[in-house]
Amino acid sequence: MNRRDFVVAGASTIGLAIAGRSLAEDQAAQHTHTSMGATPPWVANASLIDAAADCGRAGRICLAHCLDSLRAADKSMARCSETVSAMLPMCAAVEALAIQGSPHIKALAAVCAKACRECEEACKVHAMHHEPCKRCMETCQRCGAACEKAAA
């Protein structure tokens, strides 16, 4: 074994040791969290997290569609674009706080439910003619219901 092989082998061994230690620490932390009986918030709030994420994704598509329509001088999408613009940051905040298990989730979920219901109503006007609006309306229904449940 020459000096170069020795250095490479040594570096590889050190890298594996560090990776193994890091993995062991992660597993120990995860085990400690669940062994104490506490369900991680991202598991406990999974349906709320999924509903908010889906609503945000559909809302961004709907907003892009609204903006395209507005650029083409179709002002009928103005209310839809306003409500989806208000709903989007609410869903993003609910998703983030639900993942973290924040104590503020209950209050924020109540506000988000209201924003989702307003967006749902605005999208309902266009749902029969525009697929992005239909999808946004459906995800707002789901997210609104999940937020109302979380706020209760």
pLDDT of 40-85, one tens digit each? 988 888 999 999 999 999 999 999 999 999 999 989 999 999 999 9
Question: Which helix (H) or strand (E) segment is 98 a member of?
Answer: helix 78-100
Residues 30 and 93 in one domain: no
Residues 97 and 34 in one domain: no
Please count the CA atoms within 13 angstroms of the CA of 90 that sit on its side-chain side: 26
CATH number for position 123: 1.20.1270.360
Q: How many residues does the chain have?
A: 152
Residues 53 and 16 in one domain: no
Domain encompassing residue 139: 41-151
Residue 17 vs residue 87, higher pLDDT: 87
Residues 19 and 75 in one domain: no
Residues 98 and 27 in one domain: no
- The pTM assigned to this predicted structure is 0.73
Residues 83 and 31 in one domain: no
Residues 120 and 69 in one domain: yes
Residues 114 and 96 in one domain: yes
Q: Which tokens hold the place of 80?
A: 């839809």
Q: State the pLDDT at residue 114.
A: 98
Please state the separation of Cα 80 from the chain's center in Å: 21
Q: What is the pLDDT of residues 16-43, one digit of tens each?
A: 445 445 444 555 455 445 555 788 988 8
Mean pLDDT score of the chain = 84
Residues 31 and 54 in one domain: no
Q: Which tokens hold the place of 14?
A: 């050190």
Counted domains in the chain: 2
Q: What is the CA radius of gyration of the chain?
A: 23
Residues 87 and 131 in one domain: yes
Residues 59 and 97 in one domain: yes
Q: State the pLDDT at residue 38.
A: 87
Q: How confident is the model at residue 11 (pLDDT cuts 50, 70, 90)?
A: very low
Q: How far apart are alpha carbons 120 and 125 in whole angstroms?
A: 9
Residues 20 and 45 in one domain: no
Residue found under tokens 């209310």: 79
Angle in degrees, CA 27, 29, 30, rounded to 5: 65
Residue 150 vs residue 8, higher pLDDT: 150
Contact of 97 with 105, CB cutoff 8 Å: yes
